[in-house]
């Protein structure tokens, strides 16, 4: 059976990179290139590329590829990753008491839209237990308070390690992860939140936005870093608000946007379509 893999590359921009990569894959692996996309950052002089290919060469493995690719990678000063299509990633979803994003992810997972193993759901509330049970996903209730934060995160990290989790999705998880937690999963935690124009903070942002009479509301998905809500942005979307929209309409429209931008971010991550650099992201087609 053919193997399918994705090669992600970033390096200084120069002539000949695309040809060199294509020639290498054909020469070494008789590869069939299924998809290729590239991007140049002119200001920083950087080149980014994603190549999806298949090969029937049974010798192709990450270790073997590293050996034969080393010379070319060194010549072009490449940073690179090779990811095989199987096995699929193990995903954990963290959620609090807002369940709309979790419900959307579970539905997409059930119909096969998300190529992963949805291994567990973690929550600091009991409200998601029934939804998790309906979809047959293990549910873990771990209370979180200001006084037990360190113990809570230790329990969570042990659980993630036990299940060999590759990606953590914060589906409206209303707790701030500590820098030590984030450091265990760099570029492997995705969060979603509203992004009002103009911005409103506090416990009830939709109420504040409605009172201000905003004309646009939005949502943002991003990778989590040590700095709260300032990680590399993956996806954003907005919708228009009119004078006919009441507070429940704003909340509904905001939740719809949160569902969309989170599911897109998760799908793109699982498809290895994201490269992060300089606190920005390249999203490959």
pLDDT in tens, 240-285: 999 999 999 999 999 999 999 999 999 999 999 999 999 999 999 9
- pLDDT above 90 (res 204): no
* Cα four-point dihedral sign 23, 28, 29, 35: negative
* pLDDT per position as a tens digit, 83-95: 998 899 999 999 9
Residues 13-28: tens digit of each pLDDT: 999 999 999 999 999 9
User: Which tens digit of pLDDT belongs to each residue from 127-146?
Assistant: 999 999 999 999 999 998 88
Identify the active-site residue in 104, 229, 237, 256.
229
Full-model pTM: 0.93
Q: What is the CA radius of gyration of the chain?
A: 21
Residues 146-152: contacts with CB within 8 Å, 24+ apart? 149/178, 150/178, 152/124
Q: Stretch 229-236: mean pLDDT, rounded?
A: 93
pLDDT at 250: 92
| Rounded distance between C-alpha atoms, residue 195 and residue 193, angstroms | 7
Mean pLDDT estimate for the chain: 95
Decide if pLDDT at 74 tops 80.
yes
245 has catalytic annotation: no
Query: What band does 197 get if pLDDT is binned at 50, 70 and 90?
Result: low
The answer, yes or no, to whether residue 201 has pLDDT greater than 80, is no
45-54, 66-75, 144-153, 194-203, range with the lowest pLDDT:
194-203
């Amino acid at each position: 059976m053919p193997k399918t893999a994705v090669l992600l590359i970033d390096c200084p921009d120069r002539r000949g990179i695309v040809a060199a990569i294509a020639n290498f894959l054909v020469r070494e692996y008789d590869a069939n290139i299924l998809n290729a996309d590239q991007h140049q950052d002119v200001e920083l002089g950087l080149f980014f590329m994603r190549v999806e290919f298949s090969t029937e060469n049974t010798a192709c493995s990450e270790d073997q590829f590293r050996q034969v690719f080393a010379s070319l990678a060194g010549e072009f000063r490449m940073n690179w990753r090779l990811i095989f299509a199987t096995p699929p990633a193990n995903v954990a979803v963290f959620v609090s008491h807002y369940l709309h994003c979790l419900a959307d992810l579970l539905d997409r997972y059930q119909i096969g839209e998300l190529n992963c193993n949805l291994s567990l759901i973690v929550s600091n509330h009991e409200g998601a237990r029934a939804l998790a049970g309906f979809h047959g996903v293990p549910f873990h209730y771990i209370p979180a308070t200001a006084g037990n934060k360190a113990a809570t995160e230790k329990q969570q990290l042990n659980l993630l390690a036990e299940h060999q989790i590759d990606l953590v999705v914060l589906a409206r998880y209303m707790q701030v992860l500590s820098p030590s937690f984030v450091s265990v999963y760099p570029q492997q935690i995705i969060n979603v939140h509203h992004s009002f124009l103009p911005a409103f903070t506090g416990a009830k942002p939709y109420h504040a936005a409605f009172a201000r009479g905003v004309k646009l509301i939005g949502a943002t998905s991003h990778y989590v870093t040590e700095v709260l809500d300032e990680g590399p942005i993956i996806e954003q979307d907005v919708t228009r608000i009119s004078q006919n929209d009441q507070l429940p309409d704003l909340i509904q429209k905001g939740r719809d946007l949160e569902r969309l931008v989170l599911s897109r971010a998760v799908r793109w991550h699982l498809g290895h379509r994201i490269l992060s650099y300089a606190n920005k992201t390249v999203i490959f087609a």
